[in-house]
Chains A and B, each alone.
Chain A
Amino acid sequence: MLSSRNNVVRALTVTATAALVIAGLGACSSDADGGGGDASSFPEGDINFIVQAAAGGGSDLTSRALSAELEGILGTSIVVENRPGASGSTAMQYVADQEADGYTIGFAPVEVSMLEHLGFDVLPENYDFLGQVMFSPGVIAVPADSPYDSLDDLVEASQDEAITVANAGAGSIWEAATLGLAEESGADLTPVPFDGGAPAVAAALGGQVDAVVAGAGETVQANADGTLKILALFNDEVHPMLEDVPTAESEGYDLMFGGWGGIYAPTGLPDDVKQALSDAIAEAAESDSFSDAITPSGALPTYKTPEEFTSFVESESERFAGLLGGN
């Protein structure tokens, strides 16, 4: 909106000044007309980084940690803007509407592949995906005094009476994961959406529901304190913070569900800009300080190249179309 406008102006000024200097030196430059189109010159101004969640959440934390790395690598300022609201669609539509010049990028959460199936005007094809940076796998957990000690117990018990499973909200990734588990295992599960992850975990702690599907990070401490039993992790490998917890795969259910995040930009970036950004993101995502910043909250630093990430988003979108009703 405004700041991007200011930035375009600033970028233009910088570009124009640079062009004058270069022309004065006798070099030839014809790139004084836009906010960067030349690989060697990108970036020439601040980059806006749009986050779909309010300051302080997991998406915000990842975005700020990554931006701090990117600033050093790209040698420019990165302004993190939170544009929360409407399940993140406000920010996603905003990013899609910006000029594809590389000066507006954003955090692409798992919802970017889900919202279309929930009736929002958010389509993955409106974005250039520049790389995945993290994956935060989900778990299914039960209260400490629950009779179920394994995923199999729970699935079996559900044949007699439906099991109530709390999740973070209608249309959230954890509701989708619950539906996915029910489909894969044939269990009779009743998803109970709460208003956020914390109340959902609290409902399991208080025994109001039989189980909860939540992010690994949200349940690690309760598991360690012995107030919650984590039955399975929805990932193909064991979580470093939950070494005793089996994966759903090892229990015989092929399930991978979690909140992933990457970087996207409006579609149609110039190739050289796209290259510069994705190289920088690759370097930032694999840095130690980025990984140190995001791992305490249960997230796993996970890098995928732009090509891998793009096809991953497509396959996730297809999967959610089936689970969420597909309209």
Chain B
Amino acid sequence: MNPIVEGLESLLDPVVGLGLLLGLLLGMLVGAFPGITATMAVALASGFTLTLEPVQGLAVLLTIYVAANFGDRVPSILVNTPGTPASIATTLDGYPMAKQGRAGLALVISAMASAIGILASMILFTAAAIPIARLALQFGPSEMFALVVFGLTVMISISSKSILKGVLAGALGLALATIGRDPITGDQRFTFGFDALSGGLDFIAIIIGLFGIAELFDQLLTHHAAKVRPISSLGRWWPTKAEYRQSGRALGVGTATGLVVGVIPAAGGDIAGLIGWDRAKRVSKNPEAFGTGSIEGVTASDSASSATLGGSLTTTMALGIPGDSVMAVMIGSMIIWGIQPGPSLFANRPELVVSITAIMVIATLASLLISLVRMKGMVKLLDVPVHYLWATILMFCIVGTYATTNNIITVVVMLVAGVVGLILKRTGFPAGPVVLGLLLGPLAESNLRRALLIDGPVGLVSSPISAVLLALAVFAIALPLVGRARAARRARRSDGDDGPAEHPGDDSSLRSTTTSKGL
């Protein structure tokens, strides 16, 4: 029988339909809950899906994977707390939009961008999984190092107010990431004899603290009853034609970034979202709006981080190497079902590849539909009186963080990160670079040292991929610095003297927007 027909036919099973529904529900829920990730939900669900048929089980697991990628955007936009690390970049513009009363619009745009990102990546998966996966294997330590150096340049563009403060915040993130065991020799660094620190600081706890708790604490501190306005009463839900047109370029750049980053093992939606946001800002006609509630910013970050899903699936299915942590769990389940991912899967079981693609597409469309339908209810949650909202956010952040390790120390780390985040926020240091440093620091150091172990210093530039990426990184640092210096000189010439906000290293064009959130 034709593998396409066979693959689609296996989805007609009512159990598959039920599995999809269950996956949707569970995925949306865990995605939206800060702390619990899709990995955890898939791991727990794989316990009971093992008794199902492979396609039925895959329907549950893949749908959780997809739906969580929609659910996690909701708290990012509404309360500045990424539901999972993949939606970190969504907070950059999504939360400012919500603050301006455009939460509904941000949610709609985010869901659409995510859906398009996933669908584009699935086209790539069906069309060219095996050759792409082979290409991904070219990414060794020296290429990874070059990519990460390039990723670190994003710090400059998310430091909207002062490059100096932004880079210093980035250095803090890089430094925090060195706590724990050295990646190459295993020696302890800055653990002060505590075994609990030897695994490093828990990344999810830090982002919940820096984003969610810090924002909550700032609200507690600065709440002015007289100024309160219910945000759900404001704004449109659907983008205008002009807004669709405006987001086109960001969508293209974001999706392309996500496709590339997704295929590379060890780089996932969190990194892709930030790089995609930065790339879109560089090519945008309104770069100064990025970080202040730009539709383009939300489009770019969400299409980029979602487009990594198909890429991860590609490396997983075509190489048998898990593309991300969810896929690592899923490979375990597949092996027990007797499905061995690898190049031979595409030759021997084409109908299964068709089923997987179909499940991913259906799950994406269903998640999009649910996201659009339940938007209003979600935004209405923000209308409940502040005492409920504040108490619930604080409690959910604590319980969600606890669930990542089942260890109360992680909660303490999260709360401390919240206090540090509040101090950073009040003193004008953006949280974005800290998280970027935490994400990329260990990758930068370990891949550099691995590359040196393998080939010595020559290896870093002898590979064409890494040489090109390193050159791009140099440009990415040099160009905005030159641009800022020139703009500052022009501003000084025309102003004659410094305004109260004038500062060396400040981008005067950025300062014109007063709502810049410092993220």
The answer to whether A56 and B39 have CB atoms under 8 Å apart is yes
User: Scoring A residues 164 to 206 as 1 if CB is less than 8 Å from chain B, else 0, what string do you get?
Assistant: 1000011100000000000000000010111100110111011
Q: Which of B181, B320, B446 contacts A171 (CB 8 A)?
A: B181
The answer to whether B140 and A120 have CB atoms under 8 Å apart is no
Interface residues in A244-289 (C-beta closer than 8 Å to B): none
Q: Which of B46, B328, B405 contacts A83 (CB 8 A)?
A: B405
The answer to whether B43 and A56 have CB atoms under 8 Å apart is yes
Interface residues in A22-77 (C-beta closer than 8 Å to B): 54-58, 60-61, 64
The answer to whether A205 and B321 have CB atoms under 8 Å apart is yes
Docked pose: A201 CA to B265 CA in angstroms = 11
| B195 / chain A contacts, CB cutoff of 8 Å | 86, 89-90, 93, 120-122
Instruction: Kindly name the residue among B321, B341, B343 whose own CB sees the greatest number of chain A CB atoms within 10 A.
Output: B321
Docked pose: A296 CA to B220 CA in angstroms = 53
Check A297 for interface membership: any CB of B closer than 8 A: yes
Docked pose: A227 CA to B133 CA in angstroms = 13
Interface residues in B172-197 (C-beta closer than 8 Å to A): 181-186, 188, 195-197
The answer to whether B344 and A208 have CB atoms under 8 Å apart is no
The answer to whether B454 and A205 have CB atoms under 8 Å apart is no
| A61/B454 contact (C-beta < 8 A), A202-B137, A206-B138, A221-B341 known | no
Check B408 for interface membership: any CB of A closer than 8 A: yes
Check B283 for interface membership: any CB of A closer than 8 A: no
The answer to whether A56 and B329 have CB atoms under 8 Å apart is yes
| A20 / chain B contacts, CB cutoff of 8 Å | none
- Minimum Cβ distance to chain B for residue A232 (Å): 21
Check B202 for interface membership: any CB of A closer than 8 A: yes
Docked pose: A192 CA to B184 CA in angstroms = 7
| B202 / chain A contacts, CB cutoff of 8 Å | 85
| A61 / chain B contacts, CB cutoff of 8 Å | 332, 336
| A121 / chain B contacts, CB cutoff of 8 Å | 195
Check A118 for interface membership: any CB of B closer than 8 A: yes
Check B342 for interface membership: any CB of A closer than 8 A: yes
- Minimum Cβ distance to chain B for residue A54 (Å): 7
| A225/B405 contact (C-beta < 8 A), A121-B195, A195-B446, A208-B140 known | no
| A169 / chain B contacts, CB cutoff of 8 Å | 183
Chain B interface residue number, banded: 35 or more
Closest to B451 in A: A208
| B182 / chain A contacts, CB cutoff of 8 Å | 170
Docked pose: A293 CA to B185 CA in angstroms = 35
- Minimum Cβ distance to chain B for residue A239 (Å): 15
Docked pose: A85 CA to B320 CA in angstroms = 26
The answer to whether A199 and B454 have CB atoms under 8 Å apart is no
The answer to whether A199 and B266 have CB atoms under 8 Å apart is yes
Check B453 for interface membership: any CB of A closer than 8 A: yes
Chain A interface residue number, banded: 35 or more
Q: Which of B40, B342, B405, B454 contacts A85 (CB 8 A)?
A: B405
Closest to A162 in B: B453
The answer to whether B196 and A86 have CB atoms under 8 Å apart is yes
Closest to A224 in B: B344
| A222 / chain B contacts, CB cutoff of 8 Å | 320, 342
| B341 / chain A contacts, CB cutoff of 8 Å | 221
Check B377 for interface membership: any CB of A closer than 8 A: no
The answer to whether A192 and B454 have CB atoms under 8 Å apart is yes
Closest to A143 in B: B137
The answer to whether B453 and A206 have CB atoms under 8 Å apart is no
| B60 / chain A contacts, CB cutoff of 8 Å | none
| A1 / chain B contacts, CB cutoff of 8 Å | 408
The answer to whether A198 and B199 have CB atoms under 8 Å apart is no
- Minimum Cβ distance to chain B for residue A94 (Å): 8
Check B407 for interface membership: any CB of A closer than 8 A: yes
Interface residues in B260-303 (C-beta closer than 8 Å to A): 265-266
| B332 / chain A contacts, CB cutoff of 8 Å | 56-58, 61, 297
User: Scoring A residues 284 to 304 as 1 if CB is less than 8 Å from chain B, else 0, what string do you get?
Assistant: 000000000100110000000
Check B44 for interface membership: any CB of A closer than 8 A: yes
Docked pose: A50 CA to B42 CA in angstroms = 20
| B42 / chain A contacts, CB cutoff of 8 Å | 56
Interface residues in B451-466 (C-beta closer than 8 Å to A): 453-454
| A64 / chain B contacts, CB cutoff of 8 Å | 47
Check A305 for interface membership: any CB of B closer than 8 A: no
The answer to whether A293 and B453 have CB atoms under 8 Å apart is no
| A198/B405 contact (C-beta < 8 A), A55-B329, A170-B186, A225-B343 known | no
Check A98 for interface membership: any CB of B closer than 8 A: no
| B408 / chain A contacts, CB cutoff of 8 Å | 1
Closest to B139 in A: A206
Check A111 for interface membership: any CB of B closer than 8 A: no
The answer to whether B199 and A55 have CB atoms under 8 Å apart is no
Docked pose: A280 CA to B157 CA in angstroms = 60
Check B246 for interface membership: any CB of A closer than 8 A: no
Docked pose: A194 CA to B183 CA in angstroms = 8
- Minimum Cβ distance to chain B for residue A177 (Å): 15
Check A240 for interface membership: any CB of B closer than 8 A: no
Docked pose: A205 CA to B139 CA in angstroms = 11
| A60 / chain B contacts, CB cutoff of 8 Å | 43
Check B141 for interface membership: any CB of A closer than 8 A: yes
The answer to whether A296 and B319 have CB atoms under 8 Å apart is no
The answer to whether A87 and B199 have CB atoms under 8 Å apart is yes
| B516 / chain A contacts, CB cutoff of 8 Å | none
Docked pose: A194 CA to B186 CA in angstroms = 12
The answer to whether B198 and A221 have CB atoms under 8 Å apart is no
Docked pose: A190 CA to B451 CA in angstroms = 12
- Minimum Cβ distance to chain B for residue A225 (Å): 5
Docked pose: A222 CA to B321 CA in angstroms = 10
Closest to B340 in A: A221
| A90/B40 contact (C-beta < 8 A), A56-B332, A192-B454, A198-B265 known | no
Docked pose: A200 CA to B42 CA in angstroms = 24
A55-B44, A195-B442, A296-B336 given. 15 additional CB < 8 A pairs?
A57-B329, A85-B202, A86-B199, A90-B195, A90-B405, A122-B195, A170-B181, A170-B183, A170-B184, A201-B321, A205-B137, A206-B138, A208-B454, A217-B335, A224-B340
What are 27 A-B interface contacts by the 8 Å CB criterion?
A: A54-B39, A56-B39, A56-B328, A82-B406, A83-B406, A87-B181, A119-B198, A164-B453, A164-B454, A171-B186, A192-B450, A195-B446, A198-B321, A198-B322, A199-B265, A202-B319, A206-B137, A209-B454, A217-B335, A220-B340, A221-B320, A222-B342, A224-B342, A225-B320, A225-B342, A296-B335, A297-B335
On A, residues with C-beta under 8 Å from B are 1, 54-58, 60-61, 64, 81-87, 89-90, 93, 118-122, 164, 169-171, 190, 192-195, 198-199, 201-203, 205-209, 217, 220-222, 224-225, 227, 293, 296-297
- Nearest first, the 6 A-B pairs at minimum CB distance are A208-B140, A56-B329, A170-B186, A55-B43, A56-B43, A206-B137
